[in-house]
Amino acid sequence: MSGRRLIYFDNAATTQKPRQVIEAVRRFYEEHNANVHRGLHTLSQEASELYEEAHEILAKFIGASGMEEVAFLAGTTDALNAVADGWACRNLGPDDRIVTTVLEHHSNMLPWRRAAQRTGAELVYVDVTEDGLLRWDQLENAINERTRLVAITGMSNVTGQIVDVAEVAKLAHEVDAVLVVDGAQAVPHMPVNVRQAGIDFLAFSGHKMLGPTWIGVLYGRRDLLERMAPPRVGGGMIRDVTLDEAEWADLPWRLEAGTPHIAGAAGFAEAAKYLMDLGMEAVREHEKRLTELALRLIEDSLPEEVEIYGPRDVEERGGIVTFNVRGLDPHMTASLLDAFGIAVRSGLHCAHPLHRRIGAAEGTVRASFYVYNTEEEVRTFVDALVEIAETAK
């Protein structure tokens, strides 16, 4: 990029793909291409087996009880909307409360706002500090006996703050509320076990964890999914249809109307296997090292020139370093970094309220790390920031 070796630090937006994932997608189209659950011929049977195995692999990846609890939808946004429309709008009323936070990505904010408008439920936002850290005292006070649903991120896509969802689950379950977790940033980067954490619904995307785009997982406890309205209706999700009634198929197929992204499922499963082979603990430790190095080098080299947002303790922070160079617009900073061959994200990161709250209404620059990034790349990135900061003086 720009005549230099690419350093890709935009992993919170999407990730690059291992050869195994690309090969899995290619192999499906070249060797097994057919529709699933539609025919008795050999190709259809092979495609169906591959597709069902992908559900089993993703269920194992997050510690679900079985593939019945894992539906493939278009991604995190699609999955969260499915819960809002299919569960919240069917189960909430004017006497109920939905609790979410200012920390959220719009995908875990707007669906609950719409659900509240449709049901008359009260929507409460838990605030963050000026540093962008979740106000636990407010969270504890907000979750009361009227609360039926708590929606929270596992990790902020802006500040990188890791939320202890197991503790949130305890608070929610004490009042018989359902916990919905936006796992788009957490699931690809650290071990997540839905049963151990007490998560009721979890949404995450394939493309943020080495897999293809336009496919993700909606996990739900089986009893909750059985009471949930299908997000879409049509072919492939029914057992029987008359002119007056319809009987839905078993889980998870009732949640997957139409022809699914079969090749995407093949690549998604391969990505999950790749990460399980690496070990999610190892993935987390690698990102902690890179994040700690980046924070230390920036604070040592540019203590006055660069403002960093989010927690300083890497135990509380994922592999994201969000910052601004004083005197420079965030988009200008990103463009200058691109000239060094370094890809980062700039803007409001689909979290406008959070940016206003932390005093960065014009946006921030975000460098986000993953398994293929190195300490050498981090050092090159900080050296480029030093040169850029000089231009802003």
Q: Which of 34, 229, 238, 350 is catalytic?
A: 350
* pLDDT value at 2 more than 90: no
Residues 339-362: tens digit of each pLDDT? 999 999 999 999 999 999 999 999
**Residue 304 placed within a domain:** yes
Q: What is the pLDDT of residue 93?
A: 98
In sequence order, the 6+-apart residues with CB closer than 8 A to the CB of 136 are none
Q: Are residues 175 and 201 located together in one domain of the fold?
A: yes
Q: Are residues 118 and 43 located together in one domain of the fold?
A: yes
**Which of residues 231, 263, 278 is at a domain's end?**
278
Asked whether the beta carbons of 11 and 319 are under 8 A apart, the reply is: yes
**Residue 11 placed within a domain:** no
**Which of residues 238, 259, 278 is at a domain's end?**
278
Q: Are residues 72 and 192 located together in one domain of the fold?
A: yes
Q: Are residues 271 and 315 located together in one domain of the fold?
A: no
Q: Are residues 240 and 303 located together in one domain of the fold?
A: no
Q: Are residues 269 and 122 located together in one domain of the fold?
A: yes
Q: Are residues 311 and 261 located together in one domain of the fold?
A: no
Residues 225-277: tens digit of each pLDDT? 999 999 999 999 999 999 999 999 999 999 999 999 999 999 999 999 999 99
**At 294, which CATH number?**
3.90.1150.10
pTM, two decimal places: 0.98
Q: Given pLDDT bands bounded at 50, 70 and 90, which one contains residue 110?
A: very high
Q: Which residue in the block uniquely carries the two structure tokens 């006055």?
A: 304
Query: In terms of residue numbers, what domain contains 175?
Result: 19-278
Q: Are residues 235 and 348 located together in one domain of the fold?
A: no
Q: What is the pLDDT of residue 268?
A: 99
Give the long-range contacts of residues 325-331, CB within 8 A, separation 24 or more: 325/365, 325/385, 325/388, 325/389, 325/392, 326/392, 327/392, 327/393, 328/388, 328/391, 328/392, 329/362, 329/363, 330/362, 330/363, 330/364, 330/365, 331/363
Q: Given pLDDT bands bounded at 50, 70 and 90, which one contains residue 391?
A: confident
Task: Share the mean pLDDT of the chain.
Answer: 97
Query: How many domains in the chain?
Result: 2
Q: Given pLDDT bands bounded at 50, 70 and 90, which one contains residue 211?
A: very high
Residues 288-306: tens digit of each pLDDT? 999 999 999 999 999 999 9
Asked whether the beta carbons of 269 and 53 are under 8 A apart, the reply is: yes
Q: Given pLDDT bands bounded at 50, 70 and 90, which one contains residue 212?
A: very high
**Residue 205 placed within a domain:** yes
**At 269, which CATH number?**
3.40.640.10
**Which of residues 278, 305, 324 is at a domain's end?**
278
**Residue 170 placed within a domain:** yes
Q: What is the pLDDT of residue 207?
A: 98
Q: Given pLDDT bands bounded at 50, 70 and 90, which one contains residue 39?
A: confident
Q: What is the pLDDT of residue 339?
A: 96
Q: Are residues 260 and 385 located together in one domain of the fold?
A: no
**Residue 119 placed within a domain:** yes
Q: How many CB atoms lie within 10 A of CB 303?
A: 8
**Residue 28 placed within a domain:** yes
Q: Are residues 180 and 288 located together in one domain of the fold?
A: no
Q: Are residues 269 and 287 located together in one domain of the fold?
A: no
Q: How many residues does the chain have?
A: 393
* pLDDT value at 393 more than 90: no
Q: In what side-by-side order are the strands of the sheet with 178-182?
A: 70-73, 216-220, 201-205, 178-182, 147-153, 97-101, 122-126
Q: Given pLDDT bands bounded at 50, 70 and 90, which one contains residue 169?
A: very high
**Residue 75 placed within a domain:** yes
**Residue 37 placed within a domain:** yes
Q: What is the pLDDT of residue 83?
A: 98
Q: What is the pLDDT of residue 392?
A: 85
* pLDDT value at 327 more than 90: yes
Q: Are residues 53 and 100 located together in one domain of the fold?
A: yes
Q: What is the pLDDT of residue 190?
A: 98
* pLDDT value at 106 more than 90: yes
* 89 in catalytic set: no
Q: What is the pLDDT of residue 32?
A: 97
Q: Give mean pLDDT, residues 69-81.
A: 98
